[in-house]
Chains A and B, each alone.
Chain A
């Protein structure tokens, strides 16, 4: 994704001789088909490319309706939206929704939860795929390596309902752990409904589901490191740990920075579905984050404009975070999400 965005600047220059020939051939007589600079006029390019443009239209139309129209729809945050009147006819509210939002202790509580869970995940989740990738990379038998990778990879494709249900069955009130504890008269310990350890629970679920997925990028970075460096270092007497410190980690640096930038940019998005599913069990006090706040107080109570205001607030801060995280990456001399 990152390099996709960054690389588009180079597309225009990559004009192969075949394409030039093709362009000339379909443009008819070369002299009439070209403008001043020897370029094809847009009319001729349109005739040549009309089926290509036509092909993009279904996707563009869907994006216009379901992505761009909602962007326009954010104006509901500045209205008292009434479903009966629609977006076009609802009464204007100015900044009233935002004023109410910033004075709402529940909103600030959701903000606090978001940042807290995000921080816990940054500390406890982020390093795990890196460590696993290093570990897996050191497994010499390629068959064992790919089997382990496949197994750790699989939960990424499970739905959140499935993951939460599996956790519930293992460590929930009626789950396997408590079943065992009860049989040995050791009391019970319900992780699923305990608001105090909720951030740890949520993080462990993320680790279980996505650590294996996170490995891929780091493994790719590891495989791109020149093996001769290791050999040279080893013959110079560098041991295992020094090689890791001086070769492996610098080799992974840009990927780690990129992942960190993405993570920081998404700091306000902490497992929406995941928390939504568990809100009932653990209570809103622990489980309300910005996204679920927007959902429950926007759609649940049908106070749509209020929810939309919370949504806008989140989007704006998120954009600032992405921008800031990129600045930070550039400061470290890395590309980050986009180049300078």
Chain B
């Protein structure tokens, strides 16, 4: 009762929020502002570093000098860093490599995962429990780093691109999410297709896939982000072959560790040290490049996420 009378007492100064349930007392001014401040700080902490990096990457050398490093207030704007970076050199090569790995890897992962998920989606099919067990065991038990490395190496994967793709091509978790969606595809639809003479492949392609676009999109993006972020496998299998490095490793070497970027005017000697590394705008441009596709793709992911991933993960 108190809850219902409270609003009218204070409601004169501030109109009542229509979204607020009738029983809930409106927050105090202090509470409200503390909440706003906290959430505002959280958002700022996440957005601000990216803002600085993006701004610095498009700043002129003069602006960077005046700021003494990262630029916070726009001063002089230029796209020089990007044109330099994309015209030639290690970053452009890395970009091509990364796109190729992401495209090929995602395609392989998706084909394999969708097929497997559908193959396991029929609750009465022969051997599906055993096959599921084969999958699920790998979520809890694994051979570990060194044995995996040795197996891939003995198969001749060292120094080859496939070592960045095949060892991590299958995500059992993703397969289980897909499977739970395929299992819930209306049995009437599948039956109708079968009556029309469709075989399993046809049913998957023309009935199941079209009815589960959201989850397919989410899983595709998951795999793609994974390949785009490939880092450790590069360290394992291609650590010395700088010609083959994807973007993340280029970021690590030339920005994080501050190694000389080949083809830069200022490539002197020595390992790190400020004067010899690539100009700050160029370094920040590399950061932006690794970040950009994720930020671009993200809204799509977000859109499908609620209905795609969550329900799948929670339903199992």
Residues of A within 8 A of B (CB): 1-8, 11-12, 14-16, 18-19, 21-23, 42, 45-46, 48-49, 51-56, 58-60, 62-63, 65-74, 76, 81, 83, 86-87, 132, 135-136, 138-142, 148, 150-155, 157-162, 164-170, 174-176, 179, 182-183, 208, 212, 216, 220, 227, 230-231, 234-235, 237, 239-240, 272-273, 276-277, 280, 291, 294-295, 298-299, 304, 307-308, 311-312, 314-315, 319, 322
Contact = CB atoms under 8 A, between A and B. Distances in A.
**Top 10 closest A-B pairs, CB basis?**
A70-B143, A73-B147, A311-B144, A55-B119, A59-B116, A4-B316, A159-B229, A3-B316, A56-B119, A140-B19
A175 B127 CA distance: 57
B287 A162 contact: yes
Contact of B150 (A16, A73, A148, A160): A73
Contacts of B291: 158, 162
B177 to A, nearest CB: 8
Contacts of B200: 51-52, 55
Given A4-B316, A273-B231, A291-B145, 8 more contacts: A22-B191, A49-B127, A52-B118, A65-B155, A65-B166, A70-B147, A152-B43, A230-B21
Interface of B: 1-4, 17, 19-21, 23-25, 35, 38-39, 42-43, 45-47, 49-50, 52-53, 67-70, 72, 111-113, 115-116, 118-120, 122-129, 131-132, 134-136, 138-155, 166-170, 172-173, 175-176, 180, 187-188, 190-191, 194, 199-201, 204, 225, 228-229, 231-232, 235-236, 248-249, 251-252, 255-257, 274, 284, 287, 290-291, 294-295, 298-299, 301-302, 310, 313-316
A157 B232 contact: no
- Chain B residues touching A, majority SS: helix
A208 B129 CA distance: 40
B126 A46 contact: yes
A319 B140 contact: yes
A308 B147 CA distance: 7
B143 A58 contact: no
Given A72-B143, A159-B231, A58 B49 contact: no
5 contacts: A51-B199, A54-B119, A69-B143, A235-B23, A276-B232
Contacts, number: 307
Nearest to B172: A63
Given A56-B120, A59-B170, A299-B146, A157 B298 contact: yes
Contacts of B235: 276
A6 B201 CA distance: 29
A65 B134 CA distance: 12
Contacts of B151: 65-66, 69-70, 73
Contact of B70 (A179, A234, A272, A322): A179
Contacts of A314: 144
A52 B146 CA distance: 34
A142 B18 CA distance: 12
Contacts of A182: 68
Contacts of A169: 49, 52-53, 70, 284, 287
A240 to B, nearest CB: 7
Contacts of B176: 1, 4
Contacts of B1: 235, 237
A312 B141 CA distance: 11
